[in-house]
Amino acid sequence: MKRLMIVVPCFNEQEVFETTLTELSNLLFDLIKKEKIAKNSGIMFVDDGSRDDTRRLICDAYKKYSHVYAVNLAGNVGHQNALVAGLEAAADLCDVTVTIDADLQDDISVIEEMIDKFNAGCDVVYGVRSNRKTDGFFKRTTATAFYKLMKWLGAKTVDNHADFRLLSTRAVKALLQYEERNLFLRGIVTRLGYKSACVYYSRQKRMAGTTKYPFRKMLSFAVEGITSFSVKPLKMIMALGLFIILCSLLAILYVLVSFFGGNADAGWPSLMISIWFLGGVQLFSIGLVGEYIGKIYLETKKRPRYNIEEILSHNEE
């Protein structure tokens, strides 16, 4: 039987921790009883530098239960890096991992189905939301637009799949070979090439606490995702530049015609418009190029993605 490790990134999750621990533990024991996973399977919490009581709660749980493991990071490094930290630590201990958010918005009952698919030979199983009813209008529309854009830009992602997924240890090890600092896991996992499958569920509302993804973080996550996977925006700048050059040729033609036709009035408004418009386009384009250069800068430094303060593990017999 295969040993499962459920990896749970936590950042300021004191409100939900106890419930999450109970529910995941029950699920784990249930799967063990059904002989779907090995007896020494466990839950690995990754404390992503929480500023509230989360770390203490995790440590208490670790002392109390032999199935609880923990990776305590030295500071807050963000959801994606926290996931990698957890996966890396778990890969040495187990045969298969499932990653899930600490607020259990994702339906844990499909984990059993994930394990079945894994036992049937899949290395990657995506948890896919069958609908977005629990999201507000804003999150729903922006998320849908984002997935469409990603697809158009040529990144391979699974629609409506977040970071609720099963990965075999083999897949985790492959994933760890992607050394980029700018991590966008859901774009990389689709590139691993191993056999994959999907399980479907409907997502619940966050049971307590507030989202750790405010609009600012969501936006930077989206920009990260796009610029990590596609250079199309850079090419679009060139196309846009060409297009504007053509337009300005037309404008020049127009100005010449009206000048020689004796009508000089249309002068200043068209001038203002073109200056502002062009200025805007230039600033935007420089910013976009800068985004990529910034990425190159960060990647060349090869900084570690996270620093581990301690790993809480149990003696292996």
Binding residues for ligand UDP, rule: CB under 6 A, are 9-11, 13, 48, 76, 78-79, 82, 101-103, 105, 211-213
Please state the closest distance from residue 105 (CB atom) to ligand UDP, in A. 5
Q: Which does 76 bind (CB under 5 to 8 A by kind): ligand UDP, Mg ion, none?
A: ligand UDP
308-312 and 68-73 strand pairing? antiparallel
b/e map of 171-183 (b: 16 or more CB within 10 Å)?
Answer: bbebbeeeeeeeb
- Window 162 to 221, contacts with Mg ion (CB under 5 A): none
List the x/- string, 57-96, binding to Mg ion by CB under 5 A. ----------------------------------------
Residue at token pair 């030979």:
121
b/e map of 84-96 (b: 16 or more CB within 10 Å)?
Answer: bbbbbbbbebbbb
Q: Please answer whether residues 125 and 166 qualify as being in contact, where contact means their C-beta atoms are separated by less than 8 angstroms.
A: yes
Q: Give the residue with the Cβ less far from ligand UDP, 82 or 171.
A: 82
105 near Mg ion, rule: CB under 5 A: yes
Q: Which does 9 bind (CB under 5 to 8 A by kind): Mg ion, ligand UDP, none?
A: ligand UDP
Q: Which does 102 bind (CB under 5 to 8 A by kind): Mg ion, ligand UDP, none?
A: ligand UDP
Q: Give the residue with the Cβ less far from ligand UDP, 215 or 254.
A: 215
Q: State how far the Cα of 161 lies from the Cα of 185, in Å rounded to an integer.
A: 11
Q: Which does 11 bind (CB under 5 to 8 A by kind): ligand UDP, Mg ion, none?
A: ligand UDP
Please state the closest distance from residue 124 (CB atom) to Mg ion, in A. 22
Q: Give the residue with the Cβ less far from ligand UDP, 79 or 129.
A: 79
**What phi-psi label fits residue 158: left (phi over 0), alpha (psi between -120 and 50 degrees) or beta?**
beta
Please state the closest distance from residue 257 (CB atom) to ligand UDP, in A. 55
- Burial class of residue 303, CB neighbours in 10 A (0-12, 13-18, 19+): exposed
b/e map of 38-70 (b: 16 or more CB within 10 Å)?
Answer: bebbbbbbbbbbbeeebbebbbebbeeeebbbb
Q: Which of 88, 103, 113, 163 binds Mg ion (CB under 5 A)?
A: 103
